[in-house]
Amino acid sequence: MLRRIYGIETEYGVTFSLRGQRRLSPDEVSRFLFRKVVAWGRSSNVFLENGCRLYLDVGSHPEYATAECDNLGDVVAQDKAGESILRELVGYAQQQLGEEGIRGDIYLFKNNTDSSGNSYGCHENYCIERIDDLTRLEQVFIPFLISRQIFTGAGKVVNNVRGTAYSMSQRAEHIWESISSATTRSRPIINTRDEPHADPEKYRRLHVIVGDSNMSEFATYLKVGTAAVVLAMIEDKTTVLRDYSMASPINALRDISYDLWSKEPVKLANGRDLTALEIQEDLCERAESFLQSHQLPSDQVHAVKLWREVIEQYRSDPMLLADRVDWIAKLQIIERERERNGVDLSHPKIALIDLLYHDTNYERGLYYRRQAKGHVRRVVTDDEIATATHTPPSTTRAHMRGTFIQAAKKWRRDYTVDWVHLKLNDEMQRTVLLKDPFKSSDERFQKLLLSLERHN
């Protein structure tokens, strides 16, 4: 599969405080946050006009799942549109709280851990060919995911029995298995629950749980783009790939997270030792060869080019990746604070930096302060993000879902949608089943749209 469908699900952290003192529980804040959502769709679980899904997840975490995308620009814009939509909800909730005389500020964080040590996720979804033998995924894709932290990690100051240390990944400490059908109690790198949201005879949805939430547009672009290319190589049975299976994948995940400069090798199941950088270099080299004989989409070709640039820069001077890689950008801010005030890594000021980097508020958020100064490399524009808040991707199934929702609202018709169904809740209960995520329109959908207009 060369053209591929992908999407990102992001859970957000939310809190409400006045002068540093928490005043409402996350559950109470989220109820205010979702008042407007309930008004939109009579539920706290809705699909929006841009084809995305917005809902309240376990633990009172707002969750935004992008619509199906088949190009990297769309997935980045859709991901950032999620931040924009939730910022609007925060503004609305803040107004409601003020009217009820409740003083304080809502904070919405795009991160993966809270102060109590709980973790919430950023899950990637990739449409792959229907395969039952997961051997190549275990040998190649899982080692790729474990070692890609060097450019996808969001960074985290970790306090544990070993003391205080900085790690590349926020999720590394919270993953316990390589492959599993679980998602919470025993979080795996890849979730195998077979829920394709498409024709089950043709497709499988690969559900990746190990990733961090990225503030960096560049990191999101590279994270999804490189994964898509690696999956294309895995699906192509003629492509020879090395077996990178690790002797202890979960230990390797954690060890690499603390090995910021990729100095320490991890042991492979075959007895060899490779560093995270060496694994990424080898896979990138094979991807470059793969491009010579396969016609991949231009954005994936571009992702491989950026992959090579990041690897070379990481090898020569990793701190110069602060404009592209979240964990390095955050580390740069932390190190400047430590030098300026002579504080150690466990100081409360450092903990505050660690958190505020992920604040989605444009004025408070440290990432967005850097962006305002032109210190981050962008891949989409503000206009493209604004468009993505109300317009679905035009080249996938999401186009039909978003267009149907827009039309149903325009004509004030009662409807129900999910990832694969469009339904009019009238006396005829007309339903269109969308089993092909690659199709952006078909005859049945057009008839359903016409029926909306004729009824009025």
By annotation, the residues acting in catalysis are 57
Exposed, middle or buried, 223 (CB in 10 Å: 0-12/13-18/19+)? buried
- Alpha-carbon torsion 223, 225, 226, 227, what sign? positive
Q: Give me the helices (H) in 317-413, please.
A: 326-341, 348-356, 366-372, 382-388, 398-410
Distance CA 101, CA 98 (A): 5
**SS (HEC) of 363-384:** CCCHHHHHHHCCCCCCCCCHHH
Distance CA 17, CA 104 (A): 5
Distance CA 431, CA 415 (A): 10
Tokens of 69: 């995308």
For residues 52 and 64, is the Cβ–Cβ distance under 8 A? yes
For residues 376 and 370, is the Cβ–Cβ distance under 8 A? yes
Residues contacting residue 339 through CB under 8 Å, at least 6 positions apart = none
Closest to 447 in 3D by CA, of 425, 424, 414: 424
Q: DSSP label at 202? A: T
Q: Transcribe 71-128 into DSSP letters.
A: SHHHHHHHHHHHHHHHHHHHHHHHHHHHHTT---EEEEE-SSB-TTS-B--EEEEEEE
For residues 230 and 128, is the Cβ–Cβ distance under 8 A? no
